[in-house]
Chain A
Amino acid sequence: MKELIVGRGLRKSFGAFEAVRGIDLTVPAGQVLGFLGPNGAGKSTTMRMLTGFLEPTEGTVHLDGIALADDPIAAKRTFGYLPEGAPAYGDMRVEEFLLFVARTRGYDAAEARRRVDAAIDRLHLGPYRKQLVETLSKGYKRRTGLAQAILHDPPILILDEPTDGLDPNQKHEVRELIRRLGGERAVVLSTHILEEVEAVCTRAVIINEGRIVFDGTPGQLDSKAPASITRNRMDHVFRMLTTSDVREPAAAKGGAR
């Protein structure tokens, strides 16, 4: 399998604070990786290093074989990125905003139009294409962000909390979409909803305090919970791995809540 995302020895410090403390991450084509961790664990910082928004203090990133540090422009063509909160220009219409991104990616007017139409179809944004981005609901704003990320049909998708703030129906829809988009792509999505990992991911990575504390399949994550836990087993494992007050044997009592 082709390794599309290769991050080696990634570290990031902000002044004296070390947000990411040595992360190695390799994602092959066809894998949907769920990136988990408590708030402040370094998820967004790691994704920002993978997309070249932040330069790592140490370590390297290769995207589809291109070294991000050597040829950032070429490397940035290989992925679509949904930053945290799905930022977009509020004073533009959905269609206008997507055309802006497509043109900035270098497509000529006709090709940009064709790609924007395809992305709008794919995300069912048709009825909203003339609406101002700032007047969209959270769900549609998120979809606009996703549409922007898939315009150029990239081999890599990096999505920072794609379902955050969506209602259950919208969540379901976005997950379906990510599953469909998966295919031959390498997808990294961050979330703190564990059911999401079970629903869409083929691999789960949990980080805590800037380090990887679990790397395996969602099934393996689930099997780490003690047999006495019957509900929300993944939540239990998550707490076990990322907090100091829940430990394997003793935790069995409190974990079944």
Chain B
Amino acid sequence: MSARARIGPVFRREFGAYFASPLAGIFLVIFLFMSGIFTFQLGGFYERGQADLRPFFTGQPWLYLFLVPALSMRLWAEDRRTGTIELLLTLPVSVWDLVFAKFLAAWAFACAALALTVPLWITVAWLGNPDHGAILVGYLACALLSGTFLALGSFLSAFTKNQVIAFVLCGVAGFLLLVTGFPIVLDFVSGWLPRLAVEAISSMSALTHFESMMRGVLDLRDVLYFVSLTAAFLFLNGVVVEWKKAE
């Protein structure tokens, strides 16, 4: 069976499930509204007198902290609560197909939401003369970061039957992943950790990698960071599904 045939049905079911409740609509409204606020209000768009999307990108990681868990929380917790996990895991597909299909469904939704912010791009292009290459790299950074967060959330969702717990776990873990690169954290550890360790911690931070891409710098190391972290979380996701399925 081709990969598409194995993954397609579960992908479509999971993607469709977002629209079975008001979740998709609420998510999109909040996401677009907050993205607009970040771009034009909090970012001082008019005061800076510069037509670019820097303020928009700066806000994205913090938006994801609340919005990505809303997408990932039900991925496995709901199947475990209702018992459909038993149905899924006794169908002739592997656990990896399921993990990947569910992740892709959530990520496709997140990317679709991101695509709906393109009018902001059009707006700044109309107002001034932004660096379109840099903006494209910024969008890529957003897609990669949301993918990493979703993989993390999907992995944590497999631990519990309770979506609220899955939401909180993902929010907290996502926050930690972001702030390890923050001056507050780095200043705190730089006093007593060797410089190499401080740099290692800083390089583990999603924010460090995100910010360098956000400025329009396309560095393969940043892309590799997000991709490998996503793969690692998805691997752990499969392991936890197998481990926790019978509980």
A residues apposed to B, CB below 8 Å = 14, 48, 51-54, 72-74, 76-77, 81, 83-85, 87-92, 100-101, 103-106, 148
Decide if B13 touches A83 in the complex (CB within 8 Å): no
Known interface pairs A54-B246, A100-B9, A100-B13; A74-B92 also in contact (CB < 8 Å): yes
B88 to A, closest residue via Cβ: A104
B1-17 CB mask vs A (1 if < 8 Å, else 0) is 10001101110110001
Known interface pairs A73-B93, A104-B91, A105-B91; A91-B83 also in contact (CB < 8 Å): no
Q: What would be 23 A-B contacts, judged by CB atoms less than 8 Å apart? A: A14-B246, A48-B86, A53-B246, A54-B246, A73-B92, A74-B92, A76-B90, A81-B87, A81-B90, A83-B90, A84-B83, A89-B13, A90-B82, A91-B21, A92-B13, A92-B20, A100-B13, A101-B87, A103-B5, A103-B8, A104-B9, A105-B92, A148-B87
**Other-chain residue from A51, A85, A100 in contact with B83 (beta carbon distance below 8 A):** A85
Chain A residues contacting B50 (CB-CB under 8 Å) are none
B78-116 CB mask vs A (1 if < 8 Å, else 0) is 000011101101111110000000000000000000000
Decide if A106 touches B246 in the complex (CB within 8 Å): no
| CB proximity of B110 to chain A, nearest CB, Å | 20
Decide if A53 touches B89 in the complex (CB within 8 Å): yes
Known interface pairs A48-B246, A73-B92, A74-B92; A87-B9 also in contact (CB < 8 Å): no
B98 to A, closest residue via Cβ: A104
Closest 4 pairs (CB-CB, A-B) = A87-B83, A103-B9, A91-B20, A83-B86
Chain B residues contacting A81 (CB-CB under 8 Å) are 87, 90
Chain A residues contacting B82 (CB-CB under 8 Å) are 87, 89-90
Chain B residues contacting A91 (CB-CB under 8 Å) are 17, 20-21
Decide if B8 touches A106 in the complex (CB within 8 Å): no
A88 to B, closest residue via Cβ: B84
**Other-chain residue from B13, B84, B91 in contact with A76 (beta carbon distance below 8 A):** B91
Chain A residues contacting B1 (CB-CB under 8 Å) are 106
Chain A residues contacting B93 (CB-CB under 8 Å) are 73, 104
Interface of chain B: mostly helix, strand, loop or mixed = helix
Most chain A Cβ neighbours within 10 Å, of B8, B89, B94: B89
B81 to A, closest residue via Cβ: A87
- Does B215 touch A at the CB level, under 8 Å? no
A107 to B, closest residue via Cβ: B5
Decide if B13 touches A87 in the complex (CB within 8 Å): no
| CB proximity of A138 to chain B, nearest CB, Å | 14
Question: What separation, in Å, do the CA atoms of A79 and B168 have in the docked complex?
Answer: 39
Chain A residues contacting B245 (CB-CB under 8 Å) are 53
Question: What separation, in Å, do the CA atoms of A81 and B90 have in the docked complex?
Answer: 8
**Other-chain residue from B6, B12, B90 in contact with A51 (beta carbon distance below 8 A):** B90
| CB proximity of A75 to chain B, nearest CB, Å | 8
B21 to A, closest residue via Cβ: A91
Chain A residues contacting B12 (CB-CB under 8 Å) are 100
| CB proximity of B21 to chain A, nearest CB, Å | 7
A148 to B, closest residue via Cβ: B87
| CB proximity of A131 to chain B, nearest CB, Å | 14
Decide if A73 touches B13 in the complex (CB within 8 Å): no
Q: Give B1-53 interface residues, CB cut-off 8 Å to A.
A: 1, 5-6, 8-10, 12-13, 17, 20-21
Known interface pairs A53-B90, A77-B92, A105-B92; A83-B83 also in contact (CB < 8 Å): yes
Chain A residues contacting B94 (CB-CB under 8 Å) are 72-73
Question: What separation, in Å, do the CA atoms of A72 and B89 have in the docked complex?
Answer: 10
| CB proximity of B95 to chain A, nearest CB, Å | 10
Chain B residues contacting A52 (CB-CB under 8 Å) are 89-90
B86 to A, closest residue via Cβ: A83
| CB proximity of A132 to chain B, nearest CB, Å | 9
| CB proximity of B71 to chain A, nearest CB, Å | 16
Question: What separation, in Å, do the CA atoms of A87 and B1 have in the docked complex?
Answer: 26
